[in-house]
Each structure stands twice: as C-alpha cells, then as structure tokens.
Amino acid sequence: MNSGLVWAVALSCLGLTGCAAATASVSSKDTIVVGVKDDQPGLGLMERGSHRGFEVDVGTYIAEHMGAKHITFRTVRSDNRERLLNAHTVDLVLASYSITPDRAKLVTFGGPYYVAHQDIMVRRPENRIRGVRDLAGRRMCQASGSVSTERVVIGLGIRPTLVPASSYSECVGRLLAGKVDVVSTGDLVLAGFAARYRDRVKIINAPFTDERYGVGLRRGDIDGCEGVNRALTTMYQDGTAARLLSKWFGASELKMTTSVPEFEGCS
C-alpha cells in the first residue's frame, strides 16, 4: 500500500465512528444491551424490578434473532438515547424513537418496527378538542427530548400554551391532575396510557402525522441494521408482531397495523 493510501485510511479512521467502532457490530455480540423506557405503559415500563412492554418484547426478539446469548435492558430517556448509544452503554434502543433526519445524523436506524401516528389524548369529559387545530391556546404538555411538540408548533404553525415536563409519564400525570389540557404524541405511546387509565382519558382518534419508530444503533453499524431488518421482517411474517400488538394495546381500542413496515434502508 502506498503512503498516500495509508494516510487516507488513517484519516478515515478519525471520523465519527472510527475503524474499530465500525467493525464492532451489534450483530456479532454475545451480550446485547437494549435501551428501553421505564415509564411508558404498554411500550416499556418497570414493574416488579423488570422492564415489560411491547418494545421490550421486540428488543428481545431482535437480539435472539441475531444470536445473542444474553440480553439485558437499561432505561433510557428521550433526551439521552444518542449519548448512551454512542458511549456503548446500550447497543440497541427501542424507546418510541421516531426516525428524523436530524437524529439519523447521530445514529443508524433499523426498521421502523412500527409506524404510529401522532394523535391527541384528553380527559374523558372533554368534547371541544376534536382535531389538531383545536390545540391553539390549549395547555399542551411538552416532554423533554421529544419532537412531537415541534410537529404541532413548527410543522403546523399552531400555538398551544406549552407546559414542560421531563417525560410522557409526567405529562399524563399532569393531564390526570388537570394541569394540562392535552398530551400529543405517537398513538402507540398514548395507547399504553389510555389502556391503563381508560376510565379517565381517551384518544380522540384524529391522527395528523406518521411516527416511524426505529431501532437505534451506533452510527455506521450497517451489519447490525441489516440484522435488525431481517429480524423485524420475520417478526411480522410469523405473526409475532400481531400477537404482541394485541397483547399490549388491545385494551386501548386503537386500530393497529400488522403488515411489515417499509424500512428506511441501511446506509
């Protein structure tokens, strides 16, 4: 190899991922650490010392399909998912992680494993809010690290009164306490809370965006991304996805999609 080529290779290894990191795919690991939420009923909730939910089960399915001998779970939040991935604290993230262009600059996304739709949850007596345009002037909870509020305020130009919170579980607590009027995010997130508090809250079933929930991997892990997509394809084809969606969200009466989502592609 000539000196110019050696220098070019050396420079390429100084990039964001580095040569060593690029070759350390999650698909080759015996132990896989999956980052999930611990406060979202139906998706990822810590109960009796264990993480439980749809995303926990999907993460387990993916890791087993990749051949992992050991699978562990670690709690992540919306505002630290990228940091924990790139610090090698977790290997995969399944945490209502909507795929966006800005996030795709920081991590590689497999999937999506589900295409949710942003919707609105209100207290059950509420009948004046029938769609996203009715959010103007309403007290709307803003969960830290989530892009859902931006879709309303920036994307649609609607001006609710924003009430900050650390998480969607805190948002739902504020809704139940009457401190906010609405919580708006992906319907799969809302469905878990709606199933748990079905006598007190409701989803208005007026979706206005697509929320492509992706599996986060370290930036540049193409082998891992392709392994995730193969696992997800099998999960939908063998009926596991339909069974898990019914298991975790059937009580919410949300109409769910059970066909294989269109993947982003690994690059």
- Calpha distance 108→218 (Å, rounded): 6
- What's the pLDDT tens digit per position in 207-225? 999 889 999 999 999 999 9
Domain architecture of the chain: domains with CATH: 26-114+212-252 (3.40.190.10), 118-203 (3.40.190.10)
- What's the pLDDT tens digit per position in 112-157? 999 999 999 999 999 999 999 999 999 999 999 888 999 999 999 9
- Calpha distance 206→142 (Å, rounded): 19
- What's the pLDDT tens digit per position in 88-115? 999 999 999 999 999 999 999 999 999 9
199 class by beta-carbon count within 10 Å (0-12 exposed, 13-18 middle, 19+ buried): exposed
What lies within 8 Å, CB to CB, of 43 at 6+ separation is 36, 37, 53, 54, 55, 95, 96, 188, 189, 192, 248
What lies within 8 Å, CB to CB, of 93 at 6+ separation is 34, 35, 36, 76, 81, 84, 85, 107, 215, 216, 217
In the predicted structure, residue 4 carries a pLDDT above the cut 70: no
Q: What's this model's pTM, rounded to 2 decimal places?
A: 0.82
For residue 168, how far is the Cα from the chain centroid? 12
